[in-house]
Structure 1
């Protein structure tokens, strides 16, 4: 069964195409299951739309949910459409997000850490002039947040868990190995999954999130994995799915998962 749980669309302000465009692209790519998971609004912010180029407006959220549910019904029997969301994780504002998600018939939620110390993880300038001990501190802070997101109980999947390497490939070499192992153990203990996110191939790092060595460690700790293209254009839906499937088998995985009504569905590799 071929699936992709991480797709965006025009509401987030930095993706092209409608939700239906991604569904049609999924059909063309041979998917049986497609998850729609656009960026969450900044639910805690006093403004309705504080970051138009980053996330949807709070006032657009209900329309997003209703549109996905309508398309789920429209394409029933052709492709299974799942209602998801890529949710920011800010520990201080977690309750604002919990409240916003109450009663929404999500199939799954992806929890993603996009900021550390108030700075985007994709900001390559954050590393300029930092000594190794300062870099280690930043990396540990990133994984502390990921651990908190796992323990929050809010999410089914954690998104792109080494994405700080996207525009700074040297991130992978910053020594924080015990902290990463602790993070993977926490994720396993919490019974949630990590995604193999192929959008890293479009960034400077030129490879998936997470790296092979982290996937090997994830297997060791018993972490479940899923697939997400993180498509921001319809043509990337399902991108490199077969390559990921092949690599997971080589590493030693025997299954991966997707989610329906917040329940894990196991798919043999």
Structure 2
């Protein structure tokens, strides 16, 4: 999905690189795309390596991580957009020991925490979509939010990524069930001092909807959970895409502020006005 609205003064805090094996384009091309669209700053948050064989098809290895560092450092030159350094670190059972030692050793600006697996099932993987037709959808969502609770309790992450990712293929629980299962996860995110992202990649997926939904975002706002914006770009043209729609969603949920981050410290700023579409 593409927009031709005026540029917004909003950073894009979720950008990948080819090191994840499912993104294309040099990091300099992502920076150039951001500059062309007036995005003031970007944060590369590629999938963090692990010390196990967890999902090797979608992340860099520990041996490749120095290359990732160098790639980002090489484009941190003066002039907009400012380039920040981050990772998207998956939460899975047993990851804590590695991450609690590895994350503090690196000068990250932002660490996104995400859940992509229920046990061994990559529930957002198009190649495993058929599994949804053989499972109890509500039970899967319950298990997902239980993992989000665990993620928040580690206090290892700054932001919860694409909070309602299980809706990617439009498999959803009943509305009342969603609130019941999401509330504890939102409580734990708030208690951990984490934020959540408005992730516009959902607009480019079968569900055709930003992560999270208006309901979830409203419940997050009621708990004072701060927000940032991310395109989850896997190609340069994705950078900043869908941000006008995300800004409208933030206002609809009652938000008036968003945060920027440096060295894992958040600063709240007023949301910019919604730009008018061109005539």
TM-score exceeds 0.5: yes
1:187-266 map, 5 Å:
187-266=189-268
| Cα distance, 1:65 vs structure 2 | 1.4
- 2:153 is equivalent to residue 145 of structure 1: no
Q: Runs (4+) of structure 1 moved beyond 6 Å?
A: none
SS of equivalent to 1:85:
strand
1:36: which partner in 2?
44
2:59: which partner in 1?
55
Q: Deviations over 1:193-251 (max 9, x none)?
A: 01110101111101111111111111112111110000101001001112211221232
TM-score (norm 1): 0.91
Q: Distance in 2 between matches of 1:100 and 1:226?
A: 24
Q: Distance in 2 between matches of 1:33 and 1:232?
A: 17
Q: Deviations over 1:183-202 (max 9, x none)?
A: 11111111110111010111
| Cα distance, 1:257 vs structure 2 | 1.0
| Cα distance, 1:153 vs structure 2 | 1.1
Q: Deviations over 1:27-56 (max 9, x none)?
A: 11101110111111233239xxx724x111
1:87: which partner in 2?
89
Root-mean-square deviation over aligned CA pairs? 1.7
Structure 2: runs of 5 or more not aligned: 1-8, 272-279
1:250/1:139 CA distance change after superposition, 3 Å: closer
Q: Distance in 1 between matches of 2:260 and 2:131?
A: 34
| Cα distance, 1:152 vs structure 2 | 0.7
Q: Distance in 2 between matches of 1:2 and 1:136?
A: 35
- Do 2:10 and 2:229's aligned partners in 1 also have CA atoms closer than 8 Å? no
2:25: which partner in 1?
17
| Cα distance, 1:172 vs structure 2 | 4.5
TM-score (norm 2): 0.88
| Cα distance, 1:68 vs structure 2 | 1.2
- Do 1:11 and 1:55's aligned partners in 2 also have CA atoms closer than 8 Å? yes
SS of equivalent to 1:170:
coil
Q: Deviations over 1:126-183 (max 9, x none)?
A: 22233xxx4332211100111111111111011001111102x132437242120111
Q: Distance in 2 between matches of 1:251 and 1:135?
A: 26
| Cα distance, 1:255 vs structure 2 | 0.4
2:276: which partner in 1?
none
Say which is worse superposed, 154-163 or 34-43, in terms of deviation. 34-43
Q: Distance in 2 between matches of 1:161 and 1:152?
A: 17
Q: Distance in 2 between matches of 1:136 and 1:206?
A: 20
2:172: which partner in 1?
171
Q: Deviations over 1:101-139 (max 9, x none)?
A: 232100010000010121112132222233xxx433221
SS of equivalent to 1:92:
coil
